[in-house]
Amino acid sequence: MKKIELHLHLDGSVNLTLASTLSKLDLNIVKNKMIAPLKCKNLGDYLTRFDFPISLMQTKENLELIASKLVDDLINDEVIYAEIRFNPLAFTSTLTLDEVITSILRGLSNKKIKTNLILCMMRGYNYDDNLKIINLAKKYLGKGVVAIDLAGDEKKYKLKEYLSLFEYAKSLNIPFTIHAGETDKIDILSAINLGARRIGHGVFSITDDNLIQKLRKKDILLEVCPTSNIQTNAFNTYLDHPIKKLYDLNIKINLSTDNMTVSNTTLEKEYEIVKKYNNLTDLDLLKMNKDSIDYAFLSDLEKEELRKQLDILD
Ligand SMILES: [Zn+2]
C-alpha cells in the first residue's frame, strides 16, 4: 500500500548498515546502541538511543548520506511522501546551521519521491536556542522546510513554557505541529488552544472526553506512532493502544513510524500491527492516507498530485 509518513525523526531513522559503515563499528554493536527495547523505562530512557546516531551526524558528508539513504528506505517502504523532522542544533558541533540544512537537502534531492523538512525546537532548550530554529525555518521556508515542531521530554518540560515561541512563529506564518499528549494529556489542551492543526501523538486525549470533543470540533489530525508508544510505556501492549478507538471517534489520524531505527520498524510493519492488533482494515488505512494528504504541509496542487498517486491503487 502506498503511504504518507508525516512523523519521522531523521536522527531516529539512521540506516543501521550505514551507521555501521560510518562509525566503523560492528553491526551488532550499532544495533545495541540505536534500537530501543520494546519496553523502555519511560520516554526519557527511549530518548537516550538518539545519542549515538547524533554523534554520527556532525559532518556535511554524513548528513547527506544519512538523508539520502533514509529516502531510499522510505521508497522501499512504498512511502510516496514524507515529512522528515530533526533538531538542527543537534548537528552543529562543527557545522553551521546553514551547512546542516543544505547538506540534508542535498541528500533528499534527485529522488523518486517528494520529501520536506520540519525543524524541531526542543523542550529543555532555552528561548534563544529555540528562536534560532524558528528563524532558520523562516529562512528555508518553501525551500525544503515546511514547518516547525516542539520535541523532547514532555514530562519534564511543559508546552506552556514555549507558547511565546509559537506565537512568534505564527507571526512569521510558519506552519507548525507539536509533540503533545505522548505520555500525558496535560499539553494537548495547550496545543489545541495554540491553533495546532496537527499534534504529534496526542494519544492521551483518549483519557478525556472533553479533549476528544475539542479535537473533533477543531478538526485536528493526530500523528500516531504505535510501536514508539509501546516502547515509551505510554501503553502496555499493542492491544491497549487507542488508535482504533480514536479512529472510531472520528478523530483524523496519520499513521507514522516516529523512528524507523530506534523503534526498529517500518511503516509497512506499523500497518500490519494495527491490522493485526487493532482491527483496522486496508480501507481504514486508505482513509488515513487521504486525511494525511489533507493535513500535509503542502500546496493544494502538490496535494492533488499525491491524491492521484494514491487513487491509482484504489
Ligand atoms: Zn516524534
What does the pLDDT read at residue 257? 98
Q: What's 302's domain CATH number? A: 3.20.20.140
What does the pLDDT read at residue 314? 47
Output the average pLDDT for the chain. Answer: 96
What average pLDDT does range 245-263 have in this prediction?
Answer: 98
What average pLDDT does range 288-299 have in this prediction?
Answer: 98
What phi and psi values does residue 50 have, to the nearest 5 degrees? Answer: -90, -15
**Strand intervals (E) in the chain:** 3-9, 79-86, 114-122, 145-151, 177-180, 198-201, 221-224, 252-255
pTM of the model: 0.97
Q: How far is the CA of 21 from the centre of ligand 1 (A)?
A: 26
Residue type for position 7? H
Judge contact between 221 and 252, C-beta under 8 A.
Answer: yes
Is 302 assigned a catalytic role? no
Q: How far is the CA of 256 from the centre of ligand 1 (A)?
A: 9
259 or 45: whose pLDDT is higher?
259
Q: How far is the CA of 122 from the centre of ligand 1 (A)?
A: 11
Q: How far is the CA of 12 from the centre of ligand 1 (A)?
A: 9
Residue range 110-121, pLDDT digits in tens: 999 999 999 999
What does the pLDDT read at residue 43? 80
What does the pLDDT read at residue 312? 64
What average pLDDT does range 198-224 have in this prediction?
Answer: 97
Active-site residue, from 83, 182, 223, 270: 182
Judge contact between 1 and 290, C-beta under 8 A.
Answer: no
217 or 46: whose pLDDT is higher?
217
> Considering its fold, how many domains does the chain have in total?
1
pLDDT higher than threshold 60 for residue 252? yes
Q: How far is the CA of 133 from the centre of ligand 1 (A)?
A: 17
Integer Cα distance of 244 and 250 in angstroms: 10
Q: How far is the CA of 156 from the centre of ligand 1 (A)?
A: 16
Q: How far is the CA of 225 from the centre of ligand 1 (A)?
A: 8
CA atoms within 13 A on the CB side of 123: 19
Q: How far is the CA of 310 from the centre of ligand 1 (A)?
A: 25
Judge contact between 205 and 188, C-beta under 8 A.
Answer: yes
| Residue in 147, 74, 132, 142 with CA at minimum distance from that of residue 100 | 132
Please give the grid coordinates belonging to residue 174. Answer: 510558519
**What percentage of residues in the chain have a pLDDT greater than 70?**
99
What does the pLDDT read at residue 104? 98
Please give the grid coordinates belonging to residue 288. Answer: 488515513
3-state secondary structure of 221: strand
Q: How far is the CA of 86 from the centre of ligand 1 (A)?
A: 9
186 or 2: whose pLDDT is higher?
2
Q: Which domain holds residue 167?
A: 3-311
Burial-class residue 25 by CB neighbours within 10 Å (0-12, 13-18, 19+): middle
Residue range 30-58, pLDDT digits in tens: 999 999 999 988 888 888 999 999 999 99
pLDDT higher than threshold 90 for residue 186? no
Angle of CA points 239, 218, 192, to nearest 5°:
75
